[in-house]
Structure formats: C-alpha cells, structure tokens
Amino acid sequence: MTDSPLRRGIGWWRLPVLGVALLTSLLFYVPFLVVVATSWTETSFIIFPPQGFSATWYSDVLLDPEWMDAFKVSLRVSAAGTVISVVLGTLGALALTRLRSRAARRWVRTLFIVPMAIPPVAYAVGLYSVNLEVAALGDNLALLILGEALLAMPYVFVMVSSGLSQADPALRPAASTLGASWPLIVWRIDLPMIAGHMLAGAVFAFAVIFDEVVLSVFLAPVGVKTLPLQMLNASQEALSPQLTAASTLVSMLAVLLLGAFSLYSNRRTARARRRARKATTA
C-alpha cells in the first residue's frame, strides 16, 4: 500500500495507475503460466487447458541427447562468455575512472554501452561476414563465445561503473600518497569494493548469453545447437509439449539463479549494515 504523501501526490490517478500495473503483470505472468500448464499435458500437442497430467515431456527432454547436448553447449558458451564479459567490462569501468577529461569519459562510456543498442541481427551478420573474410577463429565455438561476450559486456560495465561511482574518491589518492602502485590499488581497494557489482554483472551477462538466439543462428558451427536455437527449431518443426517443458526448465533455472543471487546480495547487505553499526557504536 502506498504511503500517505504518495497517495496525496497521485490523487485520484492512483486507481488507473494500479489498474495498468495489474494488467501489465497479467500480460507478463499469464503466458508463462500457460506454458507451464501445457508442459504437464498427456497429449502429444500443445493445448490449453491441458488434458491430463503427466511428467512425460520433462523426462523426454532430460533423456533426449539432442536437447541435453544443446543444453551443455549453452552452458559452455554462457560460462566462457560470462568470464570474458566480466573481465572486459570490469577493465573498462576501471579504466574510465582514470580518465580526467569529462568529455573523454562520456565518449568512452558511450562506446562501451553502444552494443546494447545495436540490433542483434546486424551485429551477428557483421561478425559472420568478418569471420568469412578473415577466417581467424575457424569453424568452432570461439566466434560465438566472443560475440556473446561482447554483447553482454555493457551490462557488466554498467553494473561495475555503478559500484565504482559509490566508492569514496579519496581512497585512491590516499593509497597513492602512501606509495601504493596502480595494480596494488586496483587489487586491494577497487576490486573488493566492486566484487558484489561484478557478481551482479556476471549474473546478468550469463542470463543474456544463455537466452540469446540470434547470434547462435549465424555463428554456431554446422551441426552444433545452443538450447535457444534448439527451442527455435523445435517451434518451427512441431509444437510439441517438449518445447514448453524445456521452456519451463530454463525458466526455473533462471529463477533459481536470480534467487540465489538475491539471497547472497541480501546477506551481504545485512553484514555490511551490521559492520557499520558496530563501527558507529565503537
């Protein structure tokens, strides 16, 4: 329930705003609930409301080598791409703090964020064309991993930059005055302060890479499929409940991942508050 000042500020508009919020929530959750419900059907095609109740389609997905191979490829690509994006995004955010010119910082920040605005299709076609001309990465997952990492890097950059902006600006000059070198300042001051933001960026990067399908269409080697690409092919061939079962499993994996990160973040915040209270009472 909104507090009294907010209710007074919104006035009678609060009822339409509440209605729009509820409608938006329904538009988001109802399709997901339909997908989950149809994954438990006993029929061999997707129908709502589902007929019967069976976990057959989940076992089919988990025991099907084609689906599991695609899942393993997605895990490999997501894990490697996340590591690369975290390294590049963190280095970019740290380098940004060393620029003294505001104009230079704005330009560098824009360059790091631009990949978020590039259409994935155009980006994928560009990488595919470059690989055809140069043929440097060969017919393997390297180009796909690199492309996914560059696509997810801006999310890490934004998260880490946010953490660095909250840091005390006097810490680095003080450490430098005491004789600390730049690598030591990064290792002992910057990285501990932004560890949580790096983890948040990694979670976002992993989720972005794992769900991305456009780059997989253009950059995946022949005969190799990621899980989103496998789901796309399955949707084009036949609307089997295998597709909704796989979608439900992926959604539950995402919920578990975000839930674990939220739990870790809450505990980390609670520990920081306890330390702050002890410091003020000491």
Asked if residue 196 and residue 143 are part of one domain, the reply reads: yes
Range of the domain at 167: 64-257
Asked if residue 153 and residue 34 are part of one domain, the reply reads: no
Asked if residue 74 and residue 26 are part of one domain, the reply reads: no
Asked if residue 68 and residue 31 are part of one domain, the reply reads: no
Asked if residue 30 and residue 132 are part of one domain, the reply reads: no
Cβ(162)–Cβ(197) below 8 Å: yes
For tokens 């796989």, the residue is 246
Per-residue confidence (pLDDT) for residue 109, from 0 to 100: 81
- The CB-side HSE value for 50 (13 A sphere, CA atoms) comes to 22
- What's the start-to-end Cα distance of the chain, in Å? 38
Does 262 reside within a domain? no
Asked if residue 200 and residue 100 are part of one domain, the reply reads: yes
- The CB-side HSE value for 245 (13 A sphere, CA atoms) comes to 26
The total number of structural domains that make up the chain: 2
Asked if residue 24 and residue 133 are part of one domain, the reply reads: no
- Cα distances from 10 to residues 14, 128, 131, 191, in angstroms, run 6, 51, 55, 42
Asked if residue 183 and residue 117 are part of one domain, the reply reads: yes
CA–CA dist 76, 81 (Å, integer): 8
Cβ(218)–Cβ(65) below 8 Å: no
Asked if residue 162 and residue 27 are part of one domain, the reply reads: no
Does 235 reside within a domain? yes
Asked if residue 139 and residue 24 are part of one domain, the reply reads: no
DSSP state of 221: P
Does 273 reside within a domain? no
Q: Mean pLDDT for each 10-residue chunk of the chain (282 residues)?
A: 54 70 76 74 70 75 84 90 91 80 78 79 77 62 86 88 75 70 72 82 88 83 83 74 79 79 73 64 59
Q: What is the CATH number of the domain that holds 221?
A: 1.10.3720.10
Q: In 10 A of CB 257, how many CB atoms?
A: 14
Cβ(39)–Cβ(244) below 8 Å: yes
Cβ(208)–Cβ(53) below 8 Å: no
Asked if residue 132 and residue 20 are part of one domain, the reply reads: no
Asked if residue 224 and residue 130 are part of one domain, the reply reads: yes
Per-residue confidence (pLDDT) for residue 1, from 0 to 100: 47
Cβ(244)–Cβ(46) below 8 Å: yes
For tokens 């988990």, the residue is 62
Per-residue confidence (pLDDT) for residue 163, from 0 to 100: 79
CA–CA dist 242, 38 (Å, integer): 10
Does 9 reside within a domain? yes
Does 266 reside within a domain? no
